[in-house]
A and B are shown apart, each in its own frame.
Chain A
Amino acid sequence: MPRKTLAEFKVEHLRVLDENGHVDPELEPDLSTEQLHALYRGMVRARELDQRMLNLQRQGRIGTFGPCTGQEAPSCSAALAMKDDDWFVGAFRELGGRLMRGEPLTGTLFFHNGWEEGNVLPPEVSRRMLPFTIIVASQCLHAAGVGFAASQRGQGEAVVCFSGDGATSEGDFHEGLNFAGVWKAPVVFVSQNNQWAISVPREMQTSSQTLAQKGIAYDMPCIQVDGNDALACYVAISEALERARRGEGPSLIEAVTYRLLMHTTADDPRKYRTEDEEKEWWQKEPLIRFQKYMTAKGIWDDAKEEALRTELRAEVDEAVQTLESQKPWPAERPFDHVFAEPHPSITRQREEFLANLKEEADA
């Protein structure tokens, strides 16, 4: 009996906008000026807040956080492609997308200053957005479950779920893709390959040639895109969302990008990677090429750039002011959110805690 080929697979790479802002007209998505401006604004807004947070952290005015600088394109493109009723399920480096979906800047700041109150979002935002996920890849399963519930409702809701290159080593990543695949759940998995999981490079994470090909095992369409090219991200995510809405199930998109800064502010990249490597990636970062693209289209200029930066810096200033003028929330609040209904044993501990606080304050 001759051996037969049962299946053959391929993995495509998509880039629409090159590092110098030159667009491939064949691949260019049909976006209005307003949409292009919104996408750029989203990316710059994340960059401005990120840079300010870095300063604040260095001055001890907020806690540890994981900067998103250089990775603005995938989540902002997703936010632009999503509908109001779609679900945003993130990890922890999707600041741009979160803000575009309506998370207030103050939410981000409160969260990173150690207050759960930062996760409390306006109801119209929280109804379709899950909070930060710090346990790597665990959100991939939540996305599959949300997707299952969404398809039960049958109102065309889809889910966009973010994780990173490190997450592809976790069981929950594979279980999430597998469950979503079996259920044909309307989920778009976006794997932000930023090359580094803290100090472990992409090549040490997996021997797979691409992360996109992980989707092949779960029979889902998969593609690798230039993750610093917001247009490529937009095209791939839009196509995947359309498939999801048509009932064709999940997709996996590998967005190749780069974490230009440290993993978190507690990390020092000099221990494991070179400055040259970082410099090389600064040449490919997503904002400058997008700005060049818009300028070439005649819809952007220095005056607009200046006005945008001024506006966003003022917005960030105001959010920081709100952060710093915020009085601490009640210390006992964690006791109020253990269970839906208070249990006497927790209520007594709450009273004990308050009595301890009073005693310590009086002492």
Chain B
Amino acid sequence: MPKLTMVQALNLALREEMERDESVLVMGEDVGIDGGVFRVTDGLHEQFGPQRSLDTPLAESGILGTAIGMAIAGLRPVAEMQFSGFSYLMMGQWEGNATRMRSRTQGQHTCPLVVRMPYGGGVRALEHHSESREAMYATCPGGKVVIPSGPRNARALLLAAIRDDDPVVFMEPKHSYRSFREEVPEESETMPIGQAQVAREGDDLTVVAWGAMMRPTLKAVDEVAAKGASIEVIDLLTINPLDSDTICASVQKTGRCVIVQEAPRSFGVASEIIARINDDVLLYLEAPIKRLTGYDVVTPYFGREKSYIPPVSRIVHGLRETLEF
């Protein structure tokens, strides 16, 4: 199995799907000749031509709005938002049309489309290039939100997202784009959207993380586990619809839970997970659920961003506190 970065794995997924299904096309700002600013669509222009590797005008609402029309008319567009920080201009089309078309027409018109967007901090970028706003998209019923954490699941989930008959926002942790490689099977594989994955099994504590937070979380878990704790780690993978069954089954077993979230603390995915645990397995808890998150401040410029994203040391501390409660 070749060892690929996440960028290479995503590129592989796009190439495979475009070869398999003629209705699939990629579109967005600089995705064609340039191959995308992160090179995720590199080489697709040469292989599939300008109509299936479509450089669009610079307009985010325009990109999603036209993708909606294409999807209704039988294509399967994979649109790229250059950075998630620019994607709010498409929010009107996402909330107003993409996520509602199925319900509005009771299934007569649907929007099988994917909106890929790099998100998250840690890459020393300009303002608007470092946010983690998955919760904004997750609050719209009818749309799915997927966040891979490594090259292998990025490839498998992107294939699943393209084949999905509903609109999917596919958020790519750009901090993980090239920071590590993983073996990715040559044969196509998909993973089910709407299911979390147990990344480590354990009995004493459940840790839930997703996207770029998975790497520091696993490091912290290794450090704490080395001293004898048995920790279960859940990689969320899909934000909406949320797989609360996997989370609640784990918490029922361990009685303790820590959630690691890059996004600001309030009104986020961690809050929703706590609510779900409260609904289903509250009486199994032996300790308060801990949230390790960003802060409710505007994402700072990169000069100080490092101290705002939960680092390994803070996660280690949080895990210990919850284990010892």
Contacts and interface: CB of A to CB of B under 8 A. Distances in A.
Interface of A: 87, 89, 116-117, 119-121, 123, 126, 130-131, 133, 135, 138, 140-150, 152-153, 171-172, 175-176, 178-179, 182, 333-334, 337-341, 343-346
B228 interface: no
B36 to A, nearest CB: 19
A126 B73 contact: no
B96 A340 contact: no
B139 interface: no
B97 A340 contact: no
Contact of B68 (A120, A145, A344): A145
B242 interface: yes
Given A116-B103, A148-B75, A176-B62, 18 more contacts: A116-B105, A131-B109, A141-B62, A141-B93, A142-B68, A142-B97, A145-B73, A146-B72, A148-B66, A149-B74, A171-B61, A172-B65, A179-B57, A179-B62, A338-B103, A338-B141, A340-B110, A343-B241
Contacts of B72: 130, 142, 145-146
Contact of B102 (A130, A153, A340, A346): A340
Contact of A119 (B65, B108, B164): B108
Interface in B165-190: 165-166
B51 interface: yes
A335 to B, nearest CB: 10
Interface residues of B, number: 45
B288 interface: no
B73 A146 contact: yes
Contact of B65 (A145, A150, A334): A145
Contacts of A140: 65
A155 B110 CA distance: 22
B241 A131 contact: no
Given A138-B65, A141-B61, A172-B65, A345 B242 contact: yes
A266 to B, nearest CB: 20
B70 to A, nearest CB: 4
Contacts of A153: 74
B66 A116 contact: no
Interface in B75-96: 75, 77, 92-93, 96
A109 to B, nearest CB: 16
Contacts of A123: 108
A120 B105 contact: yes
Given A178-B59, A179-B57, A343-B194, A144 B69 contact: yes
Given A149-B69, A334-B103, A346-B241, A175 B57 contact: yes
Contacts of B56: 179
B165 A340 contact: yes
Nearest to A115: B106
Nearest to A128: B73
B70 A145 contact: yes
B6 to A, nearest CB: 26
B173 to A, nearest CB: 23
